Amino acid sequence: MSVFSALYKSVSGLIGFSEGLNNLSNNVANMNTPGYKGRDKFFRELASNGGGDGVSVSGSSIRMQQGDVAQTGNNTDVAIEGNGFFVLQRDGEQYFTRNGQFRLDDDGRLVDASGRYQVTAMDQSGKLKSVVVDRSRVAPPQASTSISVTGNLNSGTAQGDTFPVDPLTDPFQVEIFDSAGNVQALKLIWTKAVGNSWSLQVLDQSNISVGETLSVNFNADGSPAASSQSLMIHHDFGTGVTSTIELKVGNPDSFSGLTSLSSSSSTVNVSDVDGRGRGQLQDISFDSNGQLRMQFSNGQEILGGKLALAHFDNPNVLSVVDGSLYRGDVAAMTIGVAGEGVFGSIAPNSIELSNVEMSREFADLIIVQRGYQSCSQVMNVTNELVEELYNSTRGG
C-alpha cells in the first residue's frame, strides 16, 4: 500500500464530511420553513481488491416524522396531522408538499405561498380539480315558511278590544323574507272574540289584508286548542310566487307558546322566523376533513370540495423540487382525502412546522467537525511522510 493511497482516502473523507456538513447546514437553514422535512446523508466504503479505498456518498433519505403544528389564525392555512401530502399542480404536472401555507390569488385560486402552484381538491366523482373560490358568488334567498310566537293574550280583555291597542300607529310587526329574498313586514292584529277565542288579522306593510282573518281558540286552561296550534298565511308579495307561511301558536296543554290567561295586559313575542335573503360571500375555511366551507352574509354555509391528499408507501421515492415541495411517481401513490383510509386529519388555521431538531443537528455537527479534523490530520501526516521520502531521495 502506497503512501499516496492514504492521501486519497483522507481526501475522500474530507469530501464526505463536507457533503454531511452541507446537508446539516441545509437542515439548520430550514428549521423555520413550514412543512420542511429534515434529510440525512448516507455513506459507503469504497473498496477494490478486498481493500478499502475511502468513502463516498451512497444516497440520502427524508425524515418523515410529524412536525409541530402551530396555529396562525389564517383561514386558508391548513396542516396535516398524520399521513399525507397536499397535492398541487402546475402546467399539468403534480407536486406534493406538507406545507399548507395557502392563500387565494387575484383569480380566486387557492395557491401555495409562492403563488405558482395550485392546490387541488377531490370532487364527488373522485377527480382532482383546482380549488377556486368565486368571490362574487351569492347564496340564494330562502322564503320564510314559519313564524313562532310566544307570550300571553289577556283572557280578561273585553270583546272587540285589540292587541296592540293601536295596531296601525303602534303595530306588532314581524319581518319575513319573500321568495325573492326581500324583507317584508307583516302586522299582526289580535282581536278578542267570544269566550276564550281571538281573531287574527294579518296586514302587509301597505296595510292590505294578507289572506283571511284567522280564528285562534284556546282551551279552558289557556293553552292553544288543537285547531289553532298551527295557522296558515298565504300571500303573493308582488314576486309572482305565493308565499305560504305557518304561524305556530303552540301545542295543546303546553304553555311554552302563546297562551290566553288572565293578566294585567297582553304580551306577544316572536320567538323564531325562518328564511333568509340573498347572501354575499364573507369568508372561507376548512374543517378537519379538509372540506371547503363558504360562509355568506345571510348565515348560509355552502360546502365545496375536500382537499386532495397523496400517500406514498415509500416517501424516499420523492425528489426535492424546491424547499418543502416534492415530485414523485404518481403510480406509486394513493390519492384520497383526510380522515379516510391511511390519511390523517386536517388542522384548520394552522401550519406544520419543520421537523428539524436542533439538538440532533448539533450532535451530528460535532461528529462531522471531528471527522473532518481527523481526515485533515491524516493528510498532514501523509504529507510529512511524502516530504520525508522526497528529502531522502535528494539526499541519496
List, for residues 202-251, the tens digit of each pLDDT value: 998 888 888 888 899 999 999 999 888 788 888 888 888 888 999 999 98
* CA dist 349 → 73, 352, 387 (Å): 5, 11, 66
CATH superfamily of 146-273: Flagellar hook protein FlgE (2.60.98.20)
Q: Which three cell numbers stand for residue 105?
A: 390569488
**Cell output for 355:** 421537523
Dihedrals phi, psi of 15, to nearest 5 degrees: -65, -45
Q: Rounded to whole angstroms, how far apart are CA atoms 6 and 12? A: 10
Each of the 396 residues of the chain gets a pLDDT tens digit; together they read 577 788 888 888 899 889 989 999 998 998 988 999 998 988 898 887 767 788 888 888 888 899 999 999 999 999 999 999 999 999 999 999 999 999 999 999 999 999 999 999 998 888 899 999 999 999 999 999 999 999 999 999 999 999 999 988 889 999 999 999 999 999 999 999 999 999 999 998 888 888 888 899 999 999 999 888 788 888 888 888 888 999 999 988 889 999 999 999 999 999 999 999 999 999 999 999 999 999 999 999 999 999 999 999 888 888 888 878 999 888 889 999 999 999 999 999 999 999 999 999 899 899 989 988 998 998 888 888 888 777 887 755
Run of H or E residues at 384: helix 358-395
β-pairing verdict for 93-97 and 325-327: antiparallel
129 Cβ contact partners less than 8 Å away, ≥ 6 residues apart: 120, 121, 122, 123, 305
Give the cell for residue 32: 423555520
Residue with cell 290566553: 260
Q: Phi-psi region for residue 125, left (φ > 0), alpha (ψ -120 to 50) or beta?
A: alpha
Q: Any idea of the CA torsion for 129, 131, 136, 139, to the nearest 10 degrees?
A: 80
Residue 197 gets which letter from DSSP? E
Cis? peptide before 252, omega within 30° of 0: no
CB 266 within 8 A of CB 159: no
- The pTM of the full predicted model, rounded to 2 decimals, is 0.75
Rounded to whole angstroms, the Cα distance separating 65 from 119 reads 23
What are the residues facing 104 on neighbouring strands? 110
The residue assigned the cell 272587540 is: 160
Q: Where are the domains of the chain?
A: 3-65+356-395, 74-138+280-344, 146-273
